[in-house]
Amino acid sequence: MYLLQKDLTEVIIKSYYQVYNTLGFGFLEKVYENALLMELRNRGYKAIGQQQIKVYYHGVEVGNYFADLIVNDAVIIELKAAETIIAEHEQQLLNYLKATQIEVGLLLNFGKKPEFRRRVFENQFKSVPSV
């Protein structure tokens, strides 16, 4: 089975565990964002924090949001420092994928117990062909 962005998401997840194992839990999301950004850049990846994403409805801009991290223009990362991942966190990531050309997202939680979710969203608005 082929997974979109498999190699990149594996590196991101390893970087996430490196940050988690070093810092533990209890910090604000911004601390984890900065540390993961540094870890990914140190590994040679293009990582951008707080990238603005515009949301359109019938071709009209209706709002925007800021992705926590975007890696190599191919994976959106949503960071949380919550007790656990809940459905609303996963829906937030899915909405980010719907609003962009990016098809793969990771939800990384720096809670008492490290946890992550990988999501893929492909639709007719994506310019990247499906495999």
Q: Looking at the domain that runs over 6-125, which CATH code has it been given?
A: 3.40.1350
pTM of the model: 0.87
pLDDT digits (tens, 9 = 90+) for 4-29: 899 999 999 999 999 999 999 999 99
pLDDT digits (tens, 9 = 90+) for 93-127: 999 898 888 999 999 999 999 999 999 988 665 55
What counts of helices (H) and strands (E) characterise the chain?
3, 5
Q: Which pLDDT belongs to residue 128?
A: 41
- DSSP-based three-state secondary structure for 120: strand
- DSSP-based three-state secondary structure for 123: coil
- Annotated domain spans of the chain: 6-125
